[in-house]
Structure 1
Amino acid sequence: MMNTTTVTANQLESLQARCEAQEQEIAELKKQVKLLLEELRLARHRQFGRSSERTTDDQVRLDLVFNEAEAEAQPEAEEPTVETVTYQRRKKQPGQRDAMLADLPVERIEYRLSEEERICSCCNAVMDEVGVEVRRELKHIPAQTVLVEHVQYKYACRPCDKHGTETPMAKAQMPRPPIPGSLASASMLAHVIDKKYVDGMPLYRQEQQFARKGLALSRQTLANWVVLGATRWLSLVYDRLHEELLSRKYLHADETTLQVLHEPGRAAESDSYMWLYRSGRDGPPIVLFDYQETRSREHPRRFLEGFKGYLHVDGYSGYHDIEGVTLVGCWAHARRKFDEALTALPTAERKKP
């Protein structure tokens, strides 16, 4: 005899509601599991997989470029008294060497025979010149460091001096030094700054290079020259380039983190930001760095005040709502999102049309 259970309408409705709630919960859990699996696959790819965006060896760290001068500078310091990358080499086009050498000064060294050496061994007649063979080579002339003495003559009126009256004095005009009381000339400042920021030569290596020439210029002295040269003179060039940059129609902007070693009131581990602004192709290139302690949107607003044109940026919202600016998206960042979405999919689903 079968046992039957009587279920009331209320119980049935309660069971149905419970099933629907559990099905909804299961569906939500499945979504979460799928999302977590996607995040796990993406995290593993970032940690262990190959990146489609590579950083080349010549993209140096900003902290190594910008921190050295400030870290080494000592205003109280006295100045001295008097990995393998492989690549395929492209075949040079005909005439490329001639074009490369066209603007170089030429030093010509001629090798001739004396009249005695030109006597023909067959008939004893004097041989005539019939042609030349030319071999070319590049000659490097090392840079020289020269001590320049600026001698300023003074003049006094001797007759007035004899009569005991106030003696007028006069001096010949002499250009002011870039840094008062320093041995650095304008050309020396340009050399040190160019070597550090264009050629990527740290100050300690420049110190060693000068030492080989017999010049005891410490890295602290060189750092002082870099800092003072930038604040006294290059800041004027920076301001003029800033004005020119704002007059362009197309600009690019980006920002990246940077740690400053010695900054008043902040720990060395604190993240600061280096904002970068550069021009487009509508004129000579201009690239300006703007250091700030934060990533606040006020920094691009302040820097770009007066600019009317197109700004090419990533998706950071800090560039939004700048008056007079039309934002232009970045294809590299757009592609990155699609690449991440593809990477997060299971392997079997990545090839589906």
Structure 2
Amino acid sequence: MPSGVRDIQLLELKDTISQLNNTISTQNELIRSPQKMLQERDAKDSEKDQLIANLQAQLDYLKTRLFGSTSEIRHEQLPGQLDLFHLQTEDEPEPVPLEVEYIEVKAHRKARKSKAAYDEVFADLPTENVYVDTLTEEQKTCDVCGTMMIPIGHELIRTELRYTEPKLERIDYYATTYECPQCKETEDPRFIKDEGTPALIPGSYASSGLAAHVMYYKYVMSMPLYRQEKDFEHLGVKISRTTMASWIIYCAENYFLPMYEYLHRKLLKRRYLMADETPIQVLKEEGRRPQSKSYVWLVRTGDNGGIPIL
């Protein structure tokens, strides 16, 4: 083989060896770097463990000082110091132990409260009587003479509660127009229209029962409007929470305000009142920035035996 080719191969081998050395050095650096990080982490963990141990020791010491049993008895005596707990002289007699008097308490059993009857538990519910009639004509025939039997009395055999699911009904009101038959052919016919009672909320489909249902479930049963919205969807109608909120506001301002003012006057006559405030942010409040803090005040009468007013 010519020497020139061999020299070229040797140079290539040297370059390859140099690259391998560089690669090995790089790999070693990469290996040493995580090891160094692990060592530093172990050192920090050791410091934390030592700190936790010190804090735990301090905590145990403080808990012992605060909650542990203590004694004010001194076992050593100071020179010239009298012992407060050993002042008894030799002339004083030994104390006579008192006999413990035992009082026997007779065992007693608490009388079990009688179970309430249905008439007491369901006193406020409407009652419907159902008379059972499930026998066939053949069963009602006397097995001796073949005569058809007749009912002679009834006996209560069981009681059950029936739940009626809530439902929504659409009611369309139609106005009735009347005309005067005598004035019909004249130049001035007379008409009158019976439009019935006005709606609870002008331009709204809310009935008094529906509005009362929304307010009852929100303020008595603590059901938010968004949950009522989902409940109405299950009944087949989509009523938004915004619509229900507008119903509540309108009824409060137009129907409940006189009652509110009356109860407010009664409340101010009480000797003691209790109050609570809740911070709230109000948007689009006249004369105030949206970032300003407002308050909702809840005021109720005290526990003085009168009728509670909230």
C-alpha displacement at 1:174, in angstroms? 1.9
Q: Deviations over 1:23-54 (max 9, x none)?
A: xxxxxxxxxxxxxxxxxxxxxxxxxxxxxxxx
Separation (CA, whole Å) in 2 of partners of 1:159 and 1:129: 63
Q: Secondary structure at the match of 1:188?
A: helix
C-alpha displacement at 1:187, in angstroms? 1.4
Match of 1:111 in 2: 132
Letter in 2 for 1:195: Y
- Contact conserved, 1:245 with 1:279, CA < 8 A, in 2? no
User: For 1:180, which of 185, 199, 202 is the aligned residue?
Assistant: 202
CA separation of 1:124 and 1:266: change in aligned 2, threshold 3 A: farther
Is 1:195 aligned to 2:217, yes or no?
A: yes
CA separation of 1:148 and 1:284: change in aligned 2, threshold 3 A: farther
- Contact conserved, 1:178 with 1:185, CA < 8 A, in 2? yes
CA separation of 1:168 and 1:243: change in aligned 2, threshold 3 A: farther
Letter in 2 for 1:221: T
Mapping 1:275-314, distance limit 5 Å: 275-278=298-301, 280=303, 282-287=305-310
- Contact conserved, 2:282 with 2:294, CA < 8 A, in 1? no
- Contact conserved, 1:154 with 1:169, CA < 8 A, in 2? yes
Q: Secondary structure at the match of 1:187?
A: helix
**Which stretch of the first structure deviates more once superposed, 95-104 or 138-147?**
95-104
Separation (CA, whole Å) in 2 of partners of 1:277 and 1:162: 67
CA separation of 1:136 and 1:157: change in aligned 2, threshold 3 A: closer
Match of 1:213 in 2: 235
Separation (CA, whole Å) in 2 of partners of 1:221 and 1:271: 25
- Contact conserved, 1:251 with 1:277, CA < 8 A, in 2? no
Letter in 2 for 1:135: R
Q: Secondary structure at the match of 1:234?
A: helix
Match of 1:243 in 2: 265
Give 5+ residue unaligned stretches, structure 2: 1-111
Letter in 1 for 2:138: E
Larger gyration radius, structure 1 or structure 2: 2
Mapping 1:59-78, distance limit 5 Å: none
Match of 2:163 in 1: 140
CA separation of 1:117 and 1:276: change in aligned 2, threshold 3 A: same
C-alpha displacement at 1:281, in angstroms? 5.6
Separation (CA, whole Å) in 2 of partners of 1:280 and 1:208: 39
Q: Secondary structure at the match of 1:277?
A: strand
- Contact conserved, 1:259 with 1:269, CA < 8 A, in 2? no
Separation (CA, whole Å) in 2 of partners of 1:154 and 1:118: 58
Match of 1:274 in 2: 297
Q: Deviations over 1:117-170 (max 9, x none)?
A: 25688x7888998984622221111233222233222334566564434x4442
TM-score by length of 1: 0.46
Separation (CA, whole Å) in 2 of partners of 1:160 and 1:118: 68
Q: Deviations over 1:11-31 (max 9, x none)?
A: xxxxxxxxxxxxxxxxxxxxx
Give the total of aligned pairs: 194
Mapping 1:18-29, distance limit 5 Å: none
Give 5+ residue unaligned stretches, structure 1: 1-90, 288-353
C-alpha displacement at 1:268, in angstroms? 5.3
Q: Which has the higher contact order (CA 8 A, sep 6+)?
A: 1
TM-score by length of 2: 0.52
User: For 1:257, which of 278, 291, 299 is the aligned residue?
Assistant: 278
Q: Deviations over 1:93-124 (max 9, x none)?
A: 52265412122122233334345325688x78
CA separation of 1:281 and 1:109: change in aligned 2, threshold 3 A: farther
C-alpha displacement at 1:262, in angstroms? 2.5
- Contact conserved, 2:174 with 2:195, CA < 8 A, in 1? no
C-alpha displacement at 1:191, in angstroms? 1.0
- Contact conserved, 1:250 with 1:282, CA < 8 A, in 2? no
Match of 1:309 in 2: none
Q: Secondary structure at the match of 1:208?
A: helix
